[in-house]
Amino acid sequence: MIIDCHGHYTTAPKALEDWRNRQIAGIKDPAAMPKVAELRISDDELRESIEKNQLRLMQERGSDLTIFSPRASFMAHHIGDFAVSSTWASICNELCYRVSKLFPKNFVGAAMLPQSPGVDLKSCIPELEKCVKEYGFVAINLNPDPSGGHWNSPPLTDRHWYPIYERMVEYDIPAMIHVSTSCNPAFHTTGAHYINADTTAVMQLIQGDLFRDFPQLRFVIPHGGGAAPYHWGRYRGLAQELKRPVLREHLLNNVFFDTCVYHQPGIDLLTKVIPVANILFASEMIGAVRGIDPETGHNYDDTKRYIDATPNLSAFDRQKVYEGNARRVYARLDKALKRAA
Amino acid sequence: MIIDCHGHYTTAPKALEDWRNRQIAGIKDPAAMPKVAELRISDDELRESIEKNQLRLMQERGSDLTIFSPRASFMAHHIGDFAVSSTWASICNELCYRVSKLFPKNFVGAAMLPQSPGVDLKSCIPELEKCVKEYGFVAINLNPDPSGGHWNSPPLTDRHWYPIYERMVEYDIPAMIHVSTSCNPAFHTTGAHYINADTTAVMQLIQGDLFRDFPQLRFVIPHGGGAAPYHWGRYRGLAQELKRPVLREHLLNNVFFDTCVYHQPGIDLLTKVIPVANILFASEMIGAVRGIDPETGHNYDDTKRYIDATPNLSAFDRQKVYEGNARRVYARLDKALKRAA
């Protein structure tokens, strides 16, 4: 079985975006605020949006199961207040849940949280609980910068985030650290903000000592860990300067990197530098980079090709990257798969 | 000849830091503001600070000439107003000039600019002119985020920056895009802010079309280009989505990456992915990562070892990385070396 740990519902029916635009208009003009019930998307529409897109590509490329969360760039936690985020997260998570019910062998949910800048993270617990207990979701996406590019939240090692971590440990679920759209013109969303956030998160975790408080906590750093594996020597050296333990002990019991790196040399570096146990197959398909690489004739985000081709992994290693590691990190998924077997 | 294009005066005599601290105190208490003349550093002190540190390591490791600029993390353009930055830049540049006079075969200057958040960049021209015309400096460092981690300046492709670019073209000098210390607790200075800035700059240049207006402009992206080479497939794919020319045409006539990547796999990736003509030897020594890598027994920032060891470069390629490319990008240095020969 091949598990893709990083897919977003980027192909939801247009009605979702229309409803969201009305919600945003409703922030300034309460009379224009739409009701949740006004969003109607049928199962057939959901089915079509998946069968023609993600599921088709999964079948073509040879992956089986995608850990599926709401579209990351649409989370936009900086828009409106907590009530706006709460309603929006609830709608988006429910759609992922419905997809997971329509295609139970191919999709399992991961929740976006109704984060809102400056709001206590305890406010996110009810949505998180519902997604885990009622929807069978196996993970969350945690946005380290709900401001959308202004970076005014405390580092991930701060107690500010502990209410979420406590629930993650209680439910035995990991978080993917994933920002949303950038409203800062300095940062292109998928070209700068996403990658910077990954790098920033890794360095925050190096500086702090979070996993002493939460030895069970598991984070997935998407997009191949941002810049971290490429600069692994720098990070090992900075940890040394900061009198931290070696990264293998300090980070790698709790931090995992996905394989959303869209060319062969990048995957070769990742699989050379980072221990196999810390690498999880992912493509973020259909996502930021949808085109065909003229240098290979294949889609940039068809990351399975790079993993199959890299000389750094044995067949046994590949099985870990494709399935074994994901079942360890996403413990509730492993349990669900065993129950279904 | 081996040219290191990225060195900062991180070992300046303590009197410099003491003066700076008094200057910072003087922002709130003008009576405490020190005079420039109160900073006294003798040639012997300068000599000692260099001979025991950078020059010793250059000789041990086998490089000849360092392009030498004021300590990047001390630029701190966010502190005080333009007058504060102006005095501070002038002092720091003069010290680098004096080092270059004391060791003319080993050091040549690159200027910090007296940037200040929100201030028109024309204000930086007099210092830039002095450094080029009187001090013989061959480059500048340009801070894309003088706020120190709040990123409220327009992207590098904005006309805001054009006054500097016009002078760079006139004087035929490149800019290294280099931020300073982070005052944002989310960003560790050398572990997140530096690397994020490199990544951000590359993406800004992909989004825009700056080199149509300035075909002669040359930028050096330090720290191995941030995350860009590791994610080169992503950036090629994003350029494609944005309907930009291929990166080789769109960026690589004007953008160069240094080799401040502190482990062998990183240098192997850089030299595999980026054309040799766009790679410039650098170590940022003595800088962020000063320790010895227990995995190799050598200093992390002894980057010459990685370049010597990589299988991706021929002897001819290495000569370009060590000298040829730098003499092309730093055109005034090339002229000065020819005059001195």
Residue B157 structure tokens: 């492709």
CA distance B336 to chain A (A): 34
Burial class for A166, CB neighbours closer than 10 Å (0-12, 13-18, 19+): middle
Please report residues of B whose CB lies closer than 8 A to that of A268: 269
- Region A156-160: mean pLDDT is 98
Q: Which residue from A57, A178, A58, A208 is spatially nearest to A111, judged by alpha carbons?
A: A178
Question: What are A234-272's pLDDT values in tens digits?
Answer: 999 999 999 999 999 999 999 999 999 999 999 999 999
The residues of B carrying an active-site annotation are 284
Tell me the chain B residues in contact with residue A297 when contact means C-beta distances shorter than 8 Å. Answer: none
Confidence category of residue B246, pLDDT binned at 50, 70, 90: very high
**What's the mean per-residue pLDDT of chain A?**
98
Instruction: Please name the residue of chain B whose CA is at the shortest distance from the CA of residue A296.
Output: B233
pLDDT single digits (tens) A71-110: 999 999 999 999 999 999 999 999 999 999 999 999 999 9
Report ipTM for this prediction: 0.98
Using a CB-CB distance cutoff of 8 angstroms, which residues of chain B are in contact with residue A151?
A: 149-151, 184, 186-187
Query: Which residues fall within 8 angstroms of residue B28, CB to CB, at 6 or more apart?
Result: none
Nearest to B61 by CA among B259, B339, B328, B266: B259
* CB within 8 Å: B291 and A232: no
* Interface probe, candidates B10, B73, B145, B151, chain A, greatest A C-beta count within 10 A: B151
Residue A259 CB neighbour total at 10 angstroms: 29
Confidence at residue A177, expressed as pLDDT on a 0 to 100 scale: 98
CA of B152, closest CA in chain A: separation in Å? Answer: 7
Interchain contact, A155 vs B186, CB within 8 Å? yes
Q: Looking at the DSSP assignment, which residues form a beta bridge with residue B257?
A: B221, B279
Set of chain B residues whose Cβ sits within 8 Å of the Cβ of A229: 230
| A186–B144 CB contact, under 8 Å | yes
* Inter-chain CB proximity A300 and B191 less than 8 Å: no
Residues from chain A that touch B186, judged by Cβ atoms under 8 A, are 144-145, 151-155, 200, 204
> A186–B151: do the CB atoms touch at under 8 Å?
yes
- Asked whether the beta carbons of residue A195 and residue B191 sit closer than 8 angstroms, the reply is no
Contact yes or no for B203 and A223 at CB 8 A? no
What local confidence, expressed as pLDDT, does residue B271 receive?
98
Cα B277 to Cα A79, A280, B256, distances in angstroms: 44, 35, 8
> Residue A11, Cβ neighbours under 10 Å: how many?
14
- Shortest alpha-carbon distance between residue A96 and chain B (Å): 26
Q: Please state, in angstroms and rounded to a whole number, the distance separating the CA atoms of residues A88 and A20.
A: 8
Q: In angstroms, what separates the C-alpha of B297 from chain A's closest C-alpha?
A: 12
pLDDT of residue B341 exceeding 90, the answer is no
The Cα of A20 is separated from the nearest Cα of chain B by a number of Å equal to 25
Closest CA to B23 of B115, B74, B87, B73: B87
CB contact under 8 A, B241 and A199: no
Best A147, A203, A298 residue to mutate vs chain B (most B CBs within 10 Å): A203
Of A185, A227, A293, the CB nearest to B230: A227
CB contact under 8 A, B237 and A291: yes
Residues of A carrying an active site annotation: 284
Give every CB contact of residue B51 below 8 A, 6+ residues apart in sequence. Answer: none
CB contact under 8 A, B195 and A227: yes
Residue A30 has pLDDT above 90, yes or no: yes
> For chains A and B, what is the number of CB pairs under 8 angstroms?
205
Write out pLDDT tens, residues B130-166.
Answer: 999 999 999 999 999 999 999 999 999 999 999 999 9
- Would you place residue A341 in the very low, low, confident or very high pLDDT band (cuts 50, 70, 90)? confident
Kindly state the tokens that stand for A105.
């062998």
Which of A206, A231, A260, A267 is the best mutation test for B, with the most CBs of B within 10 A?
A: A231
Contact B12, B47 (CB under 8 A): no
Mind listing the pLDDT tens digit for each residue in B106-128?
999 999 999 999 999 999 999 99
Q: Which residue of B has its CA nearest to A193?
A: B200
At A333 the pLDDT is 98
pLDDT of residue B190: 98
pLDDT of the residue at A42:
98
For residues A9 and A71, the answer to whether their CB atoms sit within 8 Å is yes
